[in-house]
Amino acid sequence: MVNYGLKGRVIAITGGASGIGRSAALSAATDGAHVAVLDVNQDNIDKTLAELRAKGVKAEGYALDVRDEVAMGKVAKAVESDLGPVYGLFSSAGISRTAPAEKVELADFEAVLDVNVNGVFLAAREFAQAMIQRGRGAIVNVGSIDGLGGHPGRLHYVSSKHAVAGLTKSLALEWGRYGIRVNAIMPGFVDTPLLRANMPEKYIERVVYDRTPLGRMANSDEIAAVAMMLLSDSASYMSGAIVPVDGGMTAGFLTRG
């Protein structure tokens, strides 16, 4: 088992009750970190909290919508008083939509940007307030390979994930002086409830297995592992990095052949 050196540190995780966020919460707790789970889904928060506490760490859950500016401000303060100074933020909450570009409704376009961009921005801004005071912190945002290039049928999602890359670079530039590192991971196809809800098995077979050099999807623990490394002191000289975690999918133009 890898030791990330996060023992005793407080990590806040948006979308921490499912998929990649849940894996990150469990990885952090296995490493001895105390974990704040921020999510809209109360049932899944409760399930995840039980798993985290079974590992002997402190864990608290906060039901909130990442789009809610006021709630995010309150929760950022609550986590500090409930668990202690927050060292790390992992922003994993996100939603996905699929539609041909010419049929994308403005409301859907805005809905995806609202969660995937505004939510990441608000979490970073609110949790950074105390990090700036302390002169220390690490933030990892979840983008996607759809933040590195286009993807037919995914206009809104692609736009939102490109924005996550821009947001991450801007924050890294501005907050480095406060001792805060900000990086983004860009996962390829990861076997989570979100992916299964958006991609039929036929599509997965044709696009994912065939176009991924490693020939398979990731499991969410493989994505969480990279996030933990970026949060940890092992990445002490990494900031503003946009890191693909995609089984090689974006390495070139050709498929496995």
User: In whole angstroms, what is the distance from residue 4 CA to residue 6 CA?
Assistant: 6
H helix or E strand, kind and range, residue 90: strand 86-91
Distance of closest approach, residue 121 Cβ to ligand NAD, in angstroms = 13
Q: x/- binding map, residues 135-154, to ligand NAD, per CB under 6 A? A: -------x-x----------
Only segment of 72-80, 104-112, 130-138, 183-191 that touches ligand NAD (CB under 6 A)? 183-191
Distance of closest approach, residue 79 Cβ to ligand NAD, in angstroms = 14
From 4, 62, 87, 157, active-site residue: 157
Q: x/- binding map, residues 43-82, to ligand NAD, per CB under 6 A? A: -x--------------------xxx---------------
Taking CA atoms, 255 is separated from 37, 112, 248, in Å, by 38, 29, 10
Q: Are strands 59-63 and 180-187 parallel, antiparallel or unpaired?
A: unpaired
- Look at residue 213 and give its three-state secondary structure: coil
- Contact call for residue 15 and ligand NAD (CB under 6 A): yes
- Contact call for residue 195 and ligand NAD (CB under 6 A): yes
Distance of closest approach, residue 8 Cβ to ligand NAD, in angstroms = 26
Only segment of 37-45, 72-80, 102-110, 126-134 that touches ligand NAD (CB under 6 A)? 37-45
- Look at residue 210 and give its three-state secondary structure: helix
Burial class (CB in 10 A: 0-12, 13-18, 19+), 32: middle
Residue spans of alpha helices (H) in the chain: 19-30, 42-53, 69-83, 106-113, 119-134, 155-175, 193-198, 201-203, 210-211, 220-231
The number of angstroms, rounded, from the C-alpha of 82 to the middle of its chain's C-alpha atoms is 22
- How many other C-beta atoms can be found within 10 angstroms of the C-beta atom of residue 149? 11
User: Could you say which of 193, 200, 213, 215 contacts ligand NAD (CB under 6 A)?
Assistant: 193
**Residue closer to ligand NAD, measured from CB, 83 or 218:** 218
Whether residue 157 lies in the annotated active site? yes
- Contact call for residue 192 and ligand NAD (CB under 6 A): yes
User: Could you say which of 10, 19, 35, 112 contacts ligand NAD (CB under 6 A)?
Assistant: 19
User: In whole angstroms, what is the distance from residue 108 CA to residue 103 CA?
Assistant: 10
**Residue closer to ligand NAD, measured from CB, 144 or 232:** 144
- Could you list the residues that contact ligand NAD (CB under 6 A)? 14-15, 17-21, 39-41, 44, 65-67, 92-96, 115, 119, 142, 144, 187, 189-190, 192-195
